[in-house]
Amino acid sequence: MTPTARVTAQAKVNLLLRVLAREVSGYHTIETIFLRLDLGDDVRVRVDAGRTLDCAGPAMPSGGLGPVEQNLAYRAAATYADATGWPNGFAIEIEKKIPVGGGLGGGSADAGAVLRALDALAPNPLGARLVELAAPLGADVPFMTLQSPMALAWGRGERMLVAPPLAAQPVLLAIPDFGVAASDAYSWLSADRPEHSPATRILRPESLASWASLAALAENDLEAAVGRRHGLIAELVDEIRAGGALIAMMSGSGSTVFGVFSAHGAFGARAAAPKVAEIPPRAGVTTILTSTSERVVRVELEQ
């Protein structure tokens, strides 16, 4: 039988995103808190003679995902194969459920899932060294290789402190029908804020220990700059906050806005439904009710 691995590539939101110094390379260093969601793409990887990628599913954009060789999942597999000399070829199948281009890290999640799947199949697994392969692929990808639902990350996403999981809470995603290019978001921020930005707060491990402490520090440096160019994003944040969310903010560079709601005891996504129903529907905005994740979905091997 052909060796095959399956895993769910879980979406993420950023509970904190601070944009720090700009390096000579043109990239900004960041400080962020990543949090996995239960929403995820289904990823299947098998060892094969060639190198292929097939994507389908309800979240596939009408125009497709562009050239296969530029897809992060394909690049992740090629990086693994080129770095380790194994496998000679691979076949990747992805069922897209995470909206594309909304700041939920779907492409990065797929890349991280492919790296984890290949490592589970490999005769000589890399283990913790997967982060080294993931870092050049993008700031979100190293986190997506971890076996942790939440982590504090800094630098360019490759330096991380794993945080203990918190009790799952309902999450409302409000996804406008337009995306925001990360390069645009960072350019807008540079244009809007003073040359010398204020000093950042020092984060302590206890800040990640409860939802109340996370709510106290939740912020996204890109949100105001993006909101000035896309007023709908600022309006969605206000509406979700008014709907009773513990945390309401934009994820990553946008355009998705999310709200974390209190589960009020026994968890169930329906617990948030009454408050979510108070948020008025909008044309051009898709809403998804999911939850934060208390665990990372493990890779399953097929014989």
Catalytic residues: 12, 140
Q: Which residue, among 54, 59, 35, 43, has the nearest Cα to 115 in the 3D structure?
A: 43
Which positions ≥6 away from 132 have C-beta within 8 Å?
Answer: none
Cβ proximity of 166 and 210 under 8 Å: yes
Find the radius of gyration of the CA atoms of the chain.
19
- The helix or strand, by DSSP H or E, that contains position 142, with its residue range, turns out to be helix 141-144
Beta bridge partners of 45: 5, 92
**Residue whose entry in the numeric block shows the structure tokens 């690049």:** 75
The amino acid occupying position 224 is A
C-alpha to C-alpha distance for 258 and 45, rounded to whole angstroms: 30
Local structure of 263: helix, strand or coil:
coil
C-alpha to C-alpha distance for 83 and 99, rounded to whole angstroms: 30
Q: Which residue, among 64, 161, 151, 55, has the nearest Cα to 110 in the 3D structure?
A: 55
**Inter-axis angle of helices 182-192 and 221-229, to 10 degrees?**
100
C-alpha to C-alpha distance for 35 and 143, rounded to whole angstroms: 9
